[in-house]
Amino acid sequence: MGVLQKINANFYEKSLHRIYLIMIKLQQGKYCAQIAKELGLKHQIVSYYIKKLERLGYLEHKIDSSIRLYGLTPLGRQFLALIKHSAVQKSSLRVKNIRVHRLVIKFKIIKDNPKAKFAKQISLNNWVKQSEEINFPIGITIEKTPQHIILYIHQFQTQPRAFFSQFMQNCLRAIFYVCHLLAREKGIIIDVLSGKIISQHISNEFPCFNSLIPKHTTAEVNLKRKARGIYPTTMKARAWLDRSYGNVEIETNDLLYQEKLLLLPEIVYEIKQYSEKTHRLVEKLCKNIKKQKGKINKKS
């Protein structure tokens, strides 16, 4: 049985990056409590992985030590070498959390009601700016201008696998809730189909890059096209780095870029698999060519 096949598939996929980091620490002579502290994990979690690896034959207990220390067996060193250049790279590229903020959508007013009152009113030069906050289905701020209703959807977080479903669900629920609320309570009707994206920021958390990118580092890329959203927009598609929340975040205002970013680990992993397969085929072809040359030389 192969080294990688000895680990349960579910355990392998979900925990490979942690296993790699724990085994590196064990190789450095660290014990369980030290590893837990340095990696920011619970002591029980680190202990669970160590026991699992020991049962699989990848670790051995050092009996001559008063502290429970472990060393890597030859099989463990082989396993560490394998995962260093394969699935760890795939796992380290994954997004931890996604944060959506500064999401602003503007709608045309079809039927206005000058008598409608909002919770907050600010008198400007020739009109009154009105706004109101509601907390269902998610945090929303409604702002009324003479011709438009502007919808500010408050910050929310999602998991990478559920991003697009949760993003669409939160946006659509907010839009239709506000549409019915305005019609029912304010006598204002908006054109839902006229929506335009004014702003949208999607932040992808990559803590694995913290050691590579210094704090306060900024970088921005112009994607040279219009941004994509659930409604049309005049924004130019951009992507940038941000560390204001502590961990490295790759931010974008474009749903197409977001889709590609989430698929990046799978794309990199597939490219690696194809390149390895191609390399093996080329080696086999070279061997066959050498054999054929040898046969020709013997005949001549």
Burial bucket for residue 94 (CB in 10 Å: 0-12, 13-18, 19+): middle
User: Is 148 within the bounds of a domain?
Assistant: yes
- pLDDT above 90: residue 27: no
Q: For the ranges 9-13, 48-52, 166-170, 177-181, which has the lowest average pLDDT? A: 9-13
| Confidence (pTM) | 0.64
| Residues 63 and 158 grouped into a single domain | no
Distance from C-alpha of 69 to C-alpha of 74, rounded to nearest angstrom: 17
DSSP for residue 233 = B
Greater pLDDT, 226 or 20: 226
In terms of residues, how long is the chain? 300
User: Is 35 within the bounds of a domain?
Assistant: yes
- pLDDT above 80: residue 226: yes
- pLDDT above 70: residue 180: yes
Cis check for the bond before 137: say yes or no (omega within 30 of 0). yes
| Residues 88 and 234 grouped into a single domain | no
Element (H, E) at 144: strand 140-144
| Residues 14 and 81 grouped into a single domain | yes
| Residues 109 and 171 grouped into a single domain | yes
pLDDT tens track for 200-211:
999 999 887 787
| Residues 113 and 233 grouped into a single domain | yes
User: Is 277 within the bounds of a domain?
Assistant: no
| Residues 87 and 204 grouped into a single domain | no
Tell me how far apart the 2 most distant CA atoms of the chain are, in Å: 103
H helices within the chain, ranges in order?
9-27, 32-39, 43-55, 74-84, 87-92, 163-181, 255-299
CATH assignment at residue 9: 1.10.10.10
User: Is 268 within the bounds of a domain?
Assistant: no
- pLDDT above 60: residue 5: no
Q: How many domains does the chain have?
A: 2
| Residues 40 and 146 grouped into a single domain | no
User: Is 119 within the bounds of a domain?
Assistant: yes
Domain extent for 60: 4-92
| Residues 106 and 238 grouped into a single domain | yes
Mean pLDDT across the stretch 36-59? 86
Per-residue tokens: 7: 């680990």
- pLDDT above 70: residue 89: no
Please say which residue of 65, 92, 119 terminates a domain: 92
| Residues 224 and 106 grouped into a single domain | yes
User: Is 298 within the bounds of a domain?
Assistant: no
Q: Say what the pLDDT of residue 156 is.
A: 93
| Residues 143 and 86 grouped into a single domain | no
User: Is 110 within the bounds of a domain?
Assistant: yes
- pLDDT above 50: residue 1: no
| Residues 173 and 252 grouped into a single domain | yes
